Structure 1
Amino acid sequence: MEAKQLSYLELRDIHKSYYLGKEEFPVLKGIDLDFDLGDFVSILGESGGGKSTLMNIIGGLDCQFQGSVTVDGQRLDHHDEKAMDTYRRDTIGYIYQSYNLISHLSVLDNVLIPLDMTTLNKTKRIQRAKELLARVGLTEQARKYPNQLSGGQKQRVAIARALASDPKIIIADEPTGALDSQNTQEVLQILDEIAKDGRLVITVTHSQAVADAGSRIVHLADGQIDHNQRLHDPYPVSDKPRIQSKLLPASVSYKVAAKHFKYNFWRNFLIVIGTAIGLFAVMLFSGLGNGISGYINKQVTDMVNPQVVSVSRYQKPAQTSAGGGKQGGADQQAQQPQQAATTQASTTGTTSQPKVTSAQISRLKNVKHITAVDKVYSASTVTAKKGSKAVTMTNLANWNASATTNTIKKGNKPGKGEIVVDRDSVAKKLAGNNWQSLIGKTITLNYQTQNKAGKKVTVKLTAKVSGITATSNSMGMANDNYVNTATLTSAMKAANVSTAATSVAVNIDHLDNVKSVTKKINKLETSSKRQFSATSISSMISTIQTYVSLATNVLAAIAAISLVVSALMIIVTMYMSVSARTKEIGILRALGESKRNVRQLFISESLIIGVLSAVLATVLAFVGEFIANSLLSNIANFAFVQISLGNVITVFIVALIIALLAALLPARSAAKLNPIDALAAE
């Protein structure tokens, strides 16, 4: 006797019960069924008889049952979620009474959902989707949305979608329940043609007329099979190659999320605006901090060479007498010349501030990265005369490495026998409004100090004006008056005043090396005693910028509070989206998408909101930068708001982090939904 050939789908002893508290309600009571490819089987029965429950078990959606399901000789493990995802993706195609189309996707896109989980390339996927729509008579409806179709057309789209991934089993749950008689006949004809292709078509229905259209009727009553009637033999099955399935690419989640964003554009755009405002404020305040720091840096470096370190002999605080820091004549500063407040030693050499010796200068020159060491001389209360006009200079220094040509607005730096004078405090007082005419003119200068013998003397010199300086007094700096070093020292020698310097200006080869060289100079020792005290203007700039950065960060942090509100808005929106799209989640799971795919979908949508918020915030910030700088141009010709590439990148990172964190819980909640419950949602 010849052995019976195994059927493609076998159900053995299927039991299923629902529970209300501890009370059990059996739905399926030992179902044994075999199904073959090419068969068009109708499961007939009244509502509540267990038909849909049986379909959910066959379709791999319901795992809470007893018994076994074998497909093509392989027993299914309904508790293996990944295996069930693959099974639905590769083997099952669903057609529902309520169509279950995704409203924010076009007809073509609905059919493309299962095709995106196949190995076909994009061109072939689109081609197959169009061919299927043509097969069900919907070529002209491909770009429409489901709400623009009739009931019969929607069911045809559902059929095309069910066939898209070339599944072997088509499950049709009440496929004609919502259709008129004409559409019912057309749908039944299409289902019969599908069976002729060699697929197994299983239709759940309570209509005898629908059941009669198939090749076999299985009658289900009270959870048991009471009748199994063969109407005609199954259609022959061909061995043509089938389309292979694969995991859904992450890129598809972004595309679907983008289409949903577009479909609900105005609602989502309001959220984007709310998030963008917070990001805009953070970026603008950060740019303001950059601008103010840059302005301070420019103001300081325009007056002082930032690559110069001022070096004097080291003294312990107790060694400096109360009166040793001030004398009434010309002072040699350990500070930068512009900061000369006559707080250290005079040119007489009689104060407590020790001198920098030639040997020490040579030692400094040998330090790596130091390119020059200049002696610094500074005189205060200097009288300058031209003809009958006289003016008192607050400060006069020799032109040394710390000076910068940035301050010279007209003319050149001083050569031998020359001087550059401040425009506002000197040039305008000596030459009036025609202050530029002072260039090339000779002026006389004198100041009082002590000579080598400790007697008060007057140092006199004449110098030709080679240039005129101008700097802002907003930084609290002294006026810029510089005389050629040789010219000043010659006058000092003529008055028997010592030319030994109490400080030197050390020039560093690169700005990046200033900090390290300053530390190295401060560590130089002789007989275990510290030799020098080195200070740089960059340290002052750094301190000021620290305070500016602190202030702007506080402002940015205050602005960032609004981002918490934005995050809450995104969370609420995502939860609302999960609630509104519960059925869509069930549809996607039924088509074979995994929990991970569902999570990716909602996270993708949130990230789109984050990216668009960052883009909008960037546009607003640069517009705000332009407006702010235009309004502030009356104060100074400087861009007080400077939004950097780093600020933009930071805002994008913050936006993505907020969007990601805001989406995690809603996306996780969506992925946890039971597909059966999700499909039943309204």
Structure 2
Amino acid sequence: MAFLELKNIKKSYYLGKDEFPVLNGIDLSFDKGEFVSILGESGGGKSTLMNIIGGLDRNFEGQVNINNDKLDHKQEKKLDVYRRETIGYIFQSFNLINYQTNLENVETSLNMTTLSASERKERAKALLNKVGLAEHINKYPSQLSGGQKQRVAIARALASDPDIMIADEPTGALDSVNTTEVLELLKQIAQEGKLVIVVTHSQAVAEYGTRILHMADGKIDEERFLKDAFMVPVDTDRLKSRPLKAASIWDMAFDHLKYKKLQNFLIVLGSAIGVFSVILFLGLGNGIKGYIADQVDSLVNPNYQSVVRNTTKDKKASAAERMQASRQAMATDYASTVMDSAMLQRLENIKGVDKVHAGGVFNNAVFTYGQVKSQPVQLQSWTPQFSEKTIKNGRQAKDGEVLIDREYAKKIQSNYKELIGKTIAFTYMAFDSENKPVLVSTSAKISGITDGGQSGALFIQKWSTIQKDLKKYHAVSDANYVSVEINDTKAVKATMKRINHLQSNGMQTFAGISMDDILSTVNTITSLATYVLAAIAGISLVVSAIMIIVTTYMSVSERTREIGVLRALGARSKDIRGLFTNEALLMGIISAVLGIVMAYIAQNVMNVALNSLIHFSIVQISIGNVIFAVIISLIIALIASFVPSRRAAKLNTIDALAAD
């Protein structure tokens, strides 16, 4: 029984409705140990017949039997296995992968076997030594002559230990010396018990084999036996095939990235800048929010919250809007803003409130020291809500004393610390019981220097001292502001909610806003600005995605023959898709790593540069920021590779091998 049988093989091409027959009922049989030459002019159907035997052409009529088993050309997966296990290809134009060394070219075929990495390397070296290229294993195809390239191709075709070796014009691009060497190698392969089928135009090449088949007009019109087939050795252990290893696909993708260094570096750099920008802006947002929280914590105790009397009837107004309305009412209807002892008691009775600290805030205060006057500022009473950190020099004000702001103190004299203990005069606006303005003019000893930071100037006295001056000028001395003590930090929001819901005569009594609410609002605005900036920075990622798409498309076009070779060696369509997808993902990974490194360097530089100014790390890149940027980078790379990689996977193998 013949090893390979072709039964009534017919094949036609169509141009519109016109049929052009190429194979007209081919019946042939081949055995192992034969060196069969198929001779004929161009257009006679030789290559089409080889494509059918090699499992590349699936659209034909007839039957192909291998070892008495029918080969079903309709099942792509079975054809992939058939090409891996049974067929070895030698091409006229060599079709070596240019970014791989000669050793790696041979290993590409071995990567579709169950051999270990070390076994694959040893077999590849042995095969290259067999074809006389032991000294060239680490060179690239571009460094070899035509004859040497063809010998690498033969070693690659032999690597997976196939039963059938198909050589399509293997000497067409070689001189006479290299032609003889290649034919000797093919003869040796046949002597080792394999079936060698050579397609050629050359009668001299054809005479080298054991049988000649002449084709014309799609038929075998002549058959000549030149010599007996070679003896087939007793069966030995065969290599077991398997699909192309995932690690091998990653290796090939990385090798191609290295081969196109400059082009890929520019794309990676563009993507890295996008990743860097996104991470940096997110880190900057974290730092700004942290800085604001730090500034607030340095000024305000979070267990003390501000409450004023509500003056608006608008039930839809927020706590912040009601508080603002109360502040404005102090200048027009002061009586509506003050809180008597009964109201303070109601406030203290609310669940969650531990204590109420009465106080006052007065506008248009003007401080005068010598000839130096301050701008109109606020004078307010000291409550435990203020952090001790607000006092930068000196101590809290006692009766008859005042704390003044550092910026104003600097205007008085450069050595402003020496002002402590000195007396300063100031005036501020208050109101009497008839809502008429009263100018309070007084003086006090400076007990310390404050720094309100971003919140503004701080001029502070004890409430009892302010009340004495108010009474002296017959002004209303009831509190217009209180600080509510809530010792349970977790209960702050709930307690403030109860305060804001308390009503008198159908109208909300108080307006209170916690620092958490203020920070939440500020952080929301900061986050929004951060995300907008990060999104703008992310445009560079979109640009890099377009670059990856273009590059991958170009790569598919440039490597069309490589795709055809890999398919001919038995690689699956999903392996081809994975090759280009992995290359794009590698770009994304390298870009992400480079972008992260750049972002951390920028973080350190900016924090060091600004530390002397704000004494705070203004850029705080979190692990979450890094993970987010990496994921976005990989997703963009994956999406960018989607269409080109699928285009590569769907390429017709025969067309790919014929590409220029």
User: TM over 0.5: same fold?
Assistant: yes
Please state how far the C-alpha of 1:401 moved relative to its aligned partner. Answer: 3.6
Partner of 1:596: 574
With 483-492 and 404-413 compared, the bigger mean Cα shift is at 483-492
Please state how far the C-alpha of 1:100 moved relative to its aligned partner. Answer: 0.8
Measured at CA, do residues 43 and 185 of structure 1 come closer, stay the same or move farther in structure 2, by a change above 3 Å? same
In 2: Cα distance, 1:453 partner to 1:525 partner: 25
Structure 2 counterpart of 1:673, one-letter code:
L
SS of alignment partner, residue 88 of structure 2: strand
Q: 8 Å contact 1:39–1:235 — kept in the other structure?
A: no
SS of alignment partner, residue 317 of structure 1: coil
| Pairing 1:481–2:459 present | yes
Partner of 1:522: 500
In 2: Cα distance, 1:389 partner to 1:668 partner: 78
Please state how far the C-alpha of 1:676 moved relative to its aligned partner. Answer: 0.4
Matches within 5 A, 1:168-567: 168-225=163-220, 226-227=222-223, 229=225, 231-286=227-282, 289-290=285-286, 293=289, 296-305=292-301, 308-317=304-313, 343-344=329-330, 351=336, 353-355=338-340, 357=343, 359-364=345-350, 366-367=351-352, 373-379=356-362, 394-413=377-396, 420-425=403-408, 429=412, 432-439=413-420, 466-472=447-453, 475=454, 477-484=455-462, 501-506=479-484, 518-519=496-497, 521-523=499-501, 530=508, 532-551=510-529, 553-567=531-545
Unaligned runs of 5+ in 1: 1-5, 320-333
Partner of 1:327: none
Partner of 1:41: 36
Measured at CA, do residues 462 and 651 of structure 1 come closer, stay the same or move farther in structure 2, by a change above 3 Å? same
Q: 8 Å contact 2:339–2:478 — kept in the other structure?
A: no
In 1: Cα distance, 2:597 partner to 2:83 partner: 45
SS of alignment partner, residue 240 of structure 2: coil
SS of alignment partner, residue 44 of structure 1: strand
| Pairing 1:665–2:643 present | yes
Structure 1 counterpart of 2:589, one-letter code:
V
In 2: Cα distance, 1:161 partner to 1:228 partner: 30
Partner of 2:319: none
With 495-504 and 662-671 compared, the bigger mean Cα shift is at 495-504
In 2: Cα distance, 1:78 partner to 1:32 partner: 17
SS of alignment partner, residue 306 of structure 2: strand
| Pairing 1:15–2:10 present | yes
With 257-266 and 244-253 compared, the bigger mean Cα shift is at 244-253
Partner deviation per Cα, 1:407-440 (whole Å, 9 max, x = no partner): 22224445788754322335864xx433323446
Partner deviation per Cα, 1:331-378 (whole Å, 9 max, x = no partner): xxx969xx99685499x99545444745434444x43xx776533333
With 68-77 and 34-43 compared, the bigger mean Cα shift is at 34-43
Partner of 2:318: none
Measured at CA, do residues 125 and 401 of structure 1 come closer, stay the same or move farther in structure 2, by a change above 3 Å? farther
Measured at CA, do residues 571 and 456 of structure 1 come closer, stay the same or move farther in structure 2, by a change above 3 Å? closer
In 1: Cα distance, 2:505 partner to 2:67 partner: 94
TM-score normalized with structure 1 length: 0.81
Give the total of aligned pairs.
652
Please state how far the C-alpha of 1:566 moved relative to its aligned partner. Answer: 3.3
In 2: Cα distance, 1:575 partner to 1:388 partner: 77
Partner of 2:22: 27
Unaligned runs of 5+ in 2: 316-321
Matches within 5 A, 1:109-148: 109-148=104-143
| Pairing 1:99–2:94 present | yes
Measured at CA, do residues 627 and 391 of structure 1 come closer, stay the same or move farther in structure 2, by a change above 3 Å? closer
Q: 8 Å contact 2:211–2:223 — kept in the other structure?
A: no
Measured at CA, do residues 218 and 515 of structure 1 come closer, stay the same or move farther in structure 2, by a change above 3 Å? farther
Measured at CA, do residues 434 and 198 of structure 1 come closer, stay the same or move farther in structure 2, by a change above 3 Å? same
In 2: Cα distance, 1:314 partner to 1:445 partner: 29
Measured at CA, do residues 507 and 86 of structure 1 come closer, stay the same or move farther in structure 2, by a change above 3 Å? farther
Structure 1 counterpart of 2:631, one-letter code:
I
Q: 8 Å contact 1:349–1:498 — kept in the other structure?
A: no
Partner deviation per Cα, 1:73-125 (whole Å, 9 max, x = no partner): 33222122222112212222111121110111111111111122222222222
Structure 1 counterpart of 2:200, one-letter code:
T
SS of alignment partner, residue 131 of structure 1: helix
Q: 8 Å contact 2:88–2:158 — kept in the other structure?
A: yes
Q: 8 Å contact 1:427–1:438 — kept in the other structure?
A: no
What RMSD over aligned residues (CA atoms) do the two structures have, in Å?
4.2
Measured at CA, do residues 516 and 101 of structure 1 come closer, stay the same or move farther in structure 2, by a change above 3 Å? farther
Please state how far the C-alpha of 1:484 moved relative to its aligned partner. Answer: 4.6
Please state how far the C-alpha of 1:63 moved relative to its aligned partner. Answer: 0.5
Please state how far the C-alpha of 1:144 moved relative to its aligned partner. Answer: 0.8
Q: What fraction of aligned residue pairs are identical, expressed as a percent?
A: 49
Alignment counterpart, residue 652 of structure 1, candidates 595, 619, 630: 630
Please state how far the C-alpha of 1:482 moved relative to its aligned partner. Answer: 3.1
Alignment counterpart, residue 583 of structure 1, candidates 540, 558, 561: 561
Partner of 1:611: 589
